[in-house]
Amino acid sequence: MQPTYFEVALPDGTRVSTIGKFPTRENRAPVESVINEWMGCQAAHIAGIQVPPCYIIEASPDVRLHLVEKHGITVASPFGFASKVSDIDSIIYPSTLSAMPPEDLTRLFCFDMLFINADRTPNNPNCGHAKRRLFAYDFGSALLSPKSSATNFDRFFFGPGMNDRASAHLCKEFVDSPDLADSIMADLIEKVCRSRWYSTLSVKNLPQPLQDHMGLVVQYIDYLAKESNVVCRQIVSTV
């Protein structure tokens, strides 16, 4: 999904500047990727990670026409993801990360491993810093593809795939305490997987494919809660 700047009108009447992304015909991003971005960002906030406020937005026909005429972008669905423009500083690898709190580095590493995000690497950090803490964004490559099966969730935590994700992660070089990782994993499971925070998110006005995919994501989070001992052990073993 190609990032574009938008001004978004919120339900309370306020307007905010955002970076928005829509599934496009050019990059063939599945329309369900909007849910992955939104749920990933929401879950990271619940997990105690600094992230920008985020929204699911709907582009009017005029906005979609403007995207085609001005930017050559043909949206595949009028529903997109937007995150509020935030004042953060860039990550300079590795000097910036070495100055960050170890708890922040380990929390982001564990969260990305838990939510299957393989897209936060030194070459593509999707991360900045603000107020002397990490600030993460871009969760579009986290979570599940639309064709994922609920019977195969365990495959994400066994085999070379998990170790490959861990070794390539932006924070891996700075995560070296299994005890800290174990403590943070327990906290993430309680906050993100057992609290059922997602029950307050409304998707009733979204098209059926997005509602269905959110249902699949909820099944995945419930799986993490049920299999937390195994999942935590596998993630901590990569530290």
Which pLDDT does position 202 carry in this prediction?
A: 82
Which pLDDT does position 134 carry in this prediction?
A: 96
In terms of Cβ atoms closer than 10 Å to its own Cβ (0-12, 13-18, 19+), residue 189 is buried
Angstrom CA distances, 184 to 80, 177, 187, stand at 31, 11, 5
Comparing CA positions, the residue from 103, 108, 113 lying closest to residue 127 is 108
Comparing CA positions, the residue from 205, 203, 135 lying closest to residue 170 is 135
For residue 90 the two structure tokens come to 């860039």
Which pLDDT does position 210 carry in this prediction?
A: 95
For the chain, the first-to-last Cα distance in angstroms comes to: 32
Q: Where are the domains of the chain?
A: 2-236
Which pLDDT does position 140 carry in this prediction?
A: 86
> What global pTM score does this model have?
0.95
Q: Where are the alpha helices (DSSP H) in the chain?
A: 33-46, 61-66, 95-98, 102-114, 160-168, 178-188, 208-226, 228-236
Q: What is the pLDDT of residues 62-78, one digit of tens each?
A: 999 998 998 888 999 99
- The whole-angstrom distance between residue 168's C-alpha and the CA centroid of its chain comes to 17
The DSSP code for 57 is E
Which pLDDT does position 24 carry in this prediction?
A: 87
3-state SS, residue 130 = strand
Distance in angstroms (rounded) separating the CA atoms of residues 110 and 56:
26
Which pLDDT does position 104 carry in this prediction?
A: 98
Q: What is the DSSP string of 61-110?
A: HHHHHHIIIII---BSSSEEEEEE----EEP-TTHHHHTS-HHHHHHHHH
Which pLDDT does position 203 carry in this prediction?
A: 83
Distance in angstroms (rounded) separating the CA atoms of residues 171 and 104:
9
Which portions of the chain are predicted below pLDDT 50? none
